[in-house]
Amino acid sequence: MVGSEGTLGVMVEATLRLKPLPEERAVGRALFYKLSQAGDAVSKIITKGIVPSALELMDEVAIKSVNKALKAGLPEVEALILFECDGIKASFNHEIQKIKKICEDCGAFDIIISDNPEEMEKLWEVRSSIFPATSMYKEDRIRATLAEDITVPVSRLRELVEGIHQIARENGIIIGTYGHAGEGLVHTAFLVNPRVSDEWDRTRKAVDEVFALAHQLGGTTSGEHGIGISKAPYFKKERKELLELMRGIKKVFDPHNILNPHKLMDAPEDFFTATKLRYPVKERR
């Protein structure tokens, strides 16, 4: 049932196990002049066996967006990392210092670490505000949510984020990247001028290339938000050898095709033309 997105049944009951809140927690922020340095730092943190409770990446587009929206005053470098550790103070303090050292070795500067609740909340406010803030990056741009949660092995994260920025440059568009770096998961913010049809065409081409890159790096189409219809064409490419098996399972559970039909393996090949566009294109002269 997990991952079937309502196509096989309906959950009517769930049992949850609760865990107590950690005794202590601390949050850190590290700035990097280069996006590649931040990508390297994330990979090294994970490969060293450190398990922070959060490890987030923001690129320059995300940083500039929250500066404009929140007046956050962040240095507008190519990338920053936010990290959090929790648990018993003696143990997590050791972990957070190891993360700091790795970041420094990868070229980080102006590293801030705090266990003050107000300061930690302020640090996390920057990250939690990215989604709406990117819509303010430029006045003639809207945020188009098109390749929202691609995921790769953490060891390939640097290649993914650098590759996305290369795709943006080659297509003459703006793509912001941020996300749950410790899981290899990247959110993209395609910032599109909806009144220029050529830019929309270039954006669609870039979306195809971003998904292809994620698959090439051993990643997956969606690591968090699901497939639905918008990511189905890319999901079908990734799982092409399993589609008929999935359709067979669907027929057993739902012979009349009434449970969330026309999704996942049965979604339209091009949701842009099969549904009403959320991002209309009209040329303004």
Distance, CA of 261 to CA of 66 (rounded, Å) = 39
Under 8 Å between Cβ of 240 and 161: no
Q: Are residues 256 and 146 in the same domain?
A: yes
Q: Are residues 179 and 216 in the same domain?
A: yes
- Domains in the chain: how many in total? 2
The predicted-structure confidence for 30-51, as pLDDT tens digits, reads as follows: 999 999 999 999 999 999 999 9
Banded pLDDT at 231 (limits 50, 70, 90): very high
Question: Is 35 a domain residue?
Answer: yes
Question: Is 228 a domain residue?
Answer: yes
pLDDT score for 270: 77
CATH of the domain at 222: 3.30.70.2740
Average pLDDT over residues 271-277: 64
Question: Is 19 a domain residue?
Answer: no
pLDDT score for 283: 45
Q: The domain containing residue 204 runs over which residues? A: 138-274
Instruction: Indicate whether 185 pLDDT > 80.
Output: yes
CA triple 147-123-40, angle to 5 deg = 55
Q: Are residues 34 and 79 in the same domain?
A: yes
Q: Are residues 111 and 190 in the same domain?
A: no
Tokens of 6: 């309502």
Q: Are residues 48 and 86 in the same domain?
A: yes
Task: Point out the domain boundary residue: 117, 133, 149.
Answer: 133
Q: Are residues 143 and 267 in the same domain?
A: yes
Task: Point out the domain boundary residue: 106, 133, 160.
Answer: 133
Instruction: State how far the alpha carbon of 267 is from the alpha carbons of 149, 235, 243, 255, in Å.
Output: 19, 10, 11, 17
Question: Is 8 a domain residue?
Answer: no
Q: Which of 204, 213, 233 lies closest to 166, judged by CA?
A: 213
Q: Are residues 125 and 159 in the same domain?
A: no
Tokens of 91: 């143990």
The predicted-structure confidence for 90-144, as pLDDT tens digits, reads as follows: 777 889 999 999 999 999 999 999 999 999 999 999 999 999 999 999 988 989 8
If 0-12 CB within 10 Å is exposed, 13-18 middle and 19+ buried, where does residue 278 land? Answer: exposed
Q: Are residues 192 and 112 in the same domain?
A: no
Question: Is 279 a domain residue?
Answer: no
Q: Are residues 76 and 172 in the same domain?
A: no
Please give the full DSSP string across 59-103, using - where no structure is assigned.
Answer: EHHHHHHHHHHH-------SEEEEEEEEESHHHHHHHHHHHHHHH
Q: Are residues 39 and 70 in the same domain?
A: yes
Question: Is 281 a domain residue?
Answer: no
Banded pLDDT at 285 (limits 50, 70, 90): very low
Q: Are residues 213 and 160 in the same domain?
A: yes
Q: Are residues 147 and 218 in the same domain?
A: yes
